[in-house]
Structure 1
Amino acid sequence: MAATGARLLMETLTPDLCIIGAGSAGLSLAAAARALDLSVVLIERHRMGGDCLNTGCVPSKALIAAARHAHAIRRAAAFGVTAGAVAVDGERVRAHVRDVIAGIAPHDSVERFERLGATVITDHARFTGRDRLVAGGREIRAKRFVIATGSRPAVPPIPGLDGVPVLTNESVFDLAALPERLVVIGGGPIGVELAQAFRRLGSAVTVIARSEILPKDDRDCVAVVRDRLVAEGVEIRERATVDRVERADDGILVTVGAAGGTERIPASHILVAAGRTPVTDGLDLSAAGVAETERGITVTPTLMTSNRRIYAIGDVTGSFQFTHWASHQAGQVLRTILTRLPQAERRDAIAWVTYADPELAHVGLGEAEARRRHRSVKVLRSPYAENDRARADRETDGFVKIVTGPGGRILGADLVGAAAGETAALFALAVSSRLKVGDFARMVTPYPTLAEVAKRAAVTSYADTSKHPLVRRVIQALRRTL
């Protein structure tokens, strides 16, 4: 009877939209929904801004920026500039990272979203039925719910790993002193980015990858990144397994198995960057009739769960784990909810960047996937070494590869080189707008810029065309009219 009385006293909110999770996906959705005058309840049990602001994109790029400056000092002599020995203060690097987070935090804050008109609840959410949940002592019965709770680092079941201190992206940016010897378990983007950053800041670094590093990227592009990492002193063990971790008198020993045998690698710190797992604990999804697997919440192409009132977006769905993709899904699901017209994902237009040096970027379809889907595929390339700006900057490693389909339509691109992520934005527009390679070839780019590499690759499409017999005859006829 007392429990029934407590429910009667609980305040009930009936918004148009209830969003669970205030990371990239949830915040993008909340801001867009309020701009359209929808009533919104936003629930976050931890920190506003989620992984991206606090432990992911923002702090990692701030750390990479610090490492880039250290690297620039070391190579200054190539430009005729004499600099002293590089001295890195770990505490000041950490302060820089925290300052960057603090500068962005107000944009993601409770105060900002309350000013936008959202009701923000800082508590855990738990479904109590198919059309309701409780959080912060209130019951929410929304017209639609959107789960955007994100993901957390996955820690593999390696013998002995639970007996030593382990870093993940949630703790590595809190280090006041730089690791003396860092072993990175995982060769994906996070592992590669942080491995290079810590090496440039002075740590000895070893990367252990179960397959090859950056396995989802173009292999020719990855080779350029791998060569740079090795040249800078990062040790890489590919197709290797971590068999055991144990304490030693002077730190930690990591036993690694590979085709060449077993190796014991000493470490002062271990960073686990071996994938992520969706965050759904405590939501009581079964009470809401929402299906999930180990990969995440099960959704349709329109991001609807097994309960038609409830949608899921971002990392919790097991989809691409990128901030920009989460924001894209936020817009997609809002259009679906408002119009009742299914808005399907455009996975063929996905883009991503690994912020190593050189940067590695991918847009749309890779060469292999394009050839599986299309009969007529042409690949166009242009090296950074033929770009004047790259030569002036001494950044000649890398190339642009454009994948074109029937009629010269740009299906995708892979880029590796300085500022490749910035140039990739051109290809993201090209793929989403279904532009053709001729549109790039006719583009007037400022000189000298690195983006000219993209245009130069497009111009190569005319090389074969000019050799066609019919085209040759037309050119000969035009010559006679000169």
Structure 2
Amino acid sequence: MYDIIIIGAGTAGIAAYKEAIKKTQNILIINDGSWDTTCARVGCMPSKILISTANRVYDIQHADEVELTVKAQIDTSHVMQHVQSLRDRFTKATLKDVNSWEKSHKISGKAEFIDAQTVQVANQKYQAKSFIVAVGSTPSFNREWKESLGDLLITSDQIFELNELPKRLAVIGSGVIAIEIAQAMHRLGVETTVFARSEKVGSLTSPTLQKNAIEVLSNELNIKFKVLPEHVQKYRNKVKIEFTEHGQSQQLITDYLLVATGRDSLLNTLKLQNIDTSFSDITKLPIDPHTKQLAQLPIFVVGDAFTSTPIQHEAAHEGRQAVQNCLNFSKLKNIKTLTPLGIMFSSPEMAGVGQNFKSLTHQKTAFVTGYASYEKQGRAIVNGKNQGGVEVYVDIKTRKLLGAELFIQSAEHLAHLLAWMVGQKLTVDEVLDNPFYHPTLEEGLRTALKHARRQLKAV
């Protein structure tokens, strides 16, 4: 019997293995499919390569933002090869690490639970005192559409495998993945159409910033809000999409249909119902949100197998922390300890830190909102990137910074600063006692914080 069996070798599973091997040699990791992680292969890394290239093209074409006149011929014919080459570089690094592990500690195959202490892989049974389940998720899509379109319907698992940029692309969804890829493709010269179920883009919950984001992104992208395809079919090796907009029936011919409407957990591949029949509905599993424990069992579910925020650094953290709970089952500790931090790499970028506007409002927390527009922010104007704004949320009673939302260029950097502030439970006064260099984008945070502090005086 193993001390720990880890199921899944994505970011969470690999982090769990690296931590577990420090504590015991009596471990096993089981993985069905590739061992190079979703992030490196089809997620974080290839998407950022594509976005980086697309933003470079955009900056060349919009040099007039800083009063430059540029005449350039841009050849995008090698973009996908560039994406794949760098992607392979990152996946090779992960695989090199995995290949250095003891062969007796890892097996490839599909694991299925027989009971709370036993899994089966290819008719071979393996038992453990505890389990870390890190099977991850897979892109969701309409099965009927897939049957009709075949390889012309793609998800984020396939788009980075294209040999060349398509001429036309339709995207279903307006969330993080959908907008990131749609904007990148548009900037690379792909005629891109986005179909959105609701009038919302990205990850922002602030009504003010969401309205601003819709306005800014709609000026660049062709987003059809509250419009979805009614019928799709293959037509001359392309995709014909029929839809209704403004009461009129319309159709669109495109090279591919990219579905980016979310991800489905792979927990349903584990036959958890063999442990308890009530586990047949994986959306209702009794998983403790803090310890990640399944019911009262020595089974811990980590990473994006059971979460609404599939974020790489959180998955790695949960994987490492779950090992401690597996080996100290009588003294469980909270695994979810990191300050929430989410970043969307659109342009401008979106970010959320700590508690967002929606959660604070839902909880009826007494807070004030400090706001700073970046349309008039000095350094943003200098950079020719003066769009969007920042909101910070401050507790009225304690004056502590609770969270923030951002829609600005370089939000990824400012969001980290804010996350560390929230994590240290700093008050608005303590934050404002720190230096803010001039002229920098960080000064916009000071503007928002001072706006919040002025409101506190009036309460």
TM-score, normalised to structure 2, is 0.89
- Aligned to 2:347, the other structure's residue is in SS state coil
- Which one is further off, 321-330 or 296-305? 296-305
Moved more, 421-430 or 458-467: 458-467
| Distance in structure 1 (CA, Å) of the matches to 2:456 and 2:399 | 12
From the superposition, tell whether residues 29 and 250 of structure 1 become closer, same or farther in structure 2 (CA, over 3 Å).
closer
Q: Which moved more, 1:418-427 or 1:219-228?
A: 219-228
Task: Give the conservation status (yes or no) of the 8 Å contact 2:8–2:29.
Answer: yes
* DSSP 3-state at the match of 2:375: helix
1:238 is displaced (CA, Å) by 1.1
Equivalent of residue 299 in structure 1, options 282, 287, 293: 287
For residues 392-448 of structure 1, the C-alpha deviation after alignment (integer angstroms, 9 at most, x for no partner) is 211110111001112211111010100112211122222222221112211113333
Distance 1:111 1:333, change over 3 A: closer
State the partner residue of 1:104.
Answer: 90
Return the alpha-carbon distance in structure 2 between the equivalents of residues 53 and 296 of structure 1.
30
Match of 2:437 among 435, 446, 450: 446
What is the CA deviation profile of residues 148-185 of structure 1, one whole-angstrom value per residue up to 9, with x for unaligned ones?
A: 11111111256686335201101101111211111101
1:82-231 aligned at under 5 Å gives the runs 82-90=69-77, 92-109=78-95, 111-112=97-98, 114-115=100-101, 119-135=105-121, 139-156=125-142, 162-164=148-150, 165-214=152-201, 216-217=203-204, 218-231=206-219
C-alpha root-mean-square deviation of aligned residues, in Å? 2.7
Q: What's the CA shift for 1:298? A: 4.3
For residues 279-325 of structure 1, the C-alpha deviation after alignment (integer angstroms, 9 at most, x for no partner) is 13543323344824253754123212246122211222244222223
Higher RCO (CA 8 Å, separation ≥ 6 residues): 2
| TM-score, normalization by structure 1 | 0.86
Distance 1:304 1:126 in 2: 18
Equivalent-residue separation in structure 1 for 2:226 and 2:458 (angstroms): 45
- Is it true that 1:461 corresponds to 2:452 in the alignment? yes
Which of the pair has more CA radius of gyration?
A: 1
- 1:205 match: secondary structure: strand
Amino acid at match of 2:64: A
Contact 2:172-2:228 within 8 A present in 1 as well: no
SS of equivalent to 1:254: strand
Alignment of 1:344-355 (within 5 A): 344=334, 346=336, 349-355=339-345
- Say which of 330, 351, 354 aligns to 1:364: 354
Indicate if the aligned counterparts of 1:225 and 1:356 stay in contact, CA closer than 8 A: no
CA distance in 1: counterparts of 2:331 and 2:210, whole angstroms: 40
| Letter in structure 2 aligned against 1:418 | Q
Deviation at 1:87, TM superposition (A): 2.2
Gaps of 5+ in 1: 1-13, 469-482
Q: 1:112 to 1:150 in 2, by over 3 A?
A: closer
> Does the CA contact (< 8 Å) of 1:110 and 1:120 recur in 2?
no
What amino acid is the match of 2:140? A
Question: Given the alignment, which residue of 304, 309, 323 partners 1:320?
Answer: 309
Q: Secondary structure at the match of 1:142?
A: strand
d(CA) in 2 for partners of 1:370, 1:255: 40
Please give the residue correspondences for 1:253-292 in structure 2 after superposition, counting only pairs within 5 Å.
Answer: 253-258=240-245, 260-280=247-267, 282-289=269-276, 291-292=279-280
Distance 2:66 2:203 in 1: 35
Q: Does 1:311 align with 2:300?
A: yes
Are the structure 2 counterparts of residues 421 and 173 from structure 1 closer, same or farther at C-alpha, using a change threshold of 3 Å? same
Contact kept, 8 Å, 2:314 with 2:338, in 1: the verdict is no
Worse-superposed segment, 272-281 or 353-362: 272-281
The percent identity for this pair of structures is 24
Of residues 244-253 and 409-418 in structure 1, the stretch that sits farther from structure 2 once superposed is 244-253
Counterpart residue identity of residue 411, structure 1: L
Name the residue aligned to 1:402.
Answer: 392
Question: In terms of mean alpha carbon deviation, does 20-29 or 381-390 score higher?
Answer: 381-390
SS in 1 for 2:114: strand
Closer, same or farther: CA 464–272 of 1 in aligned 2, 3 Å: closer
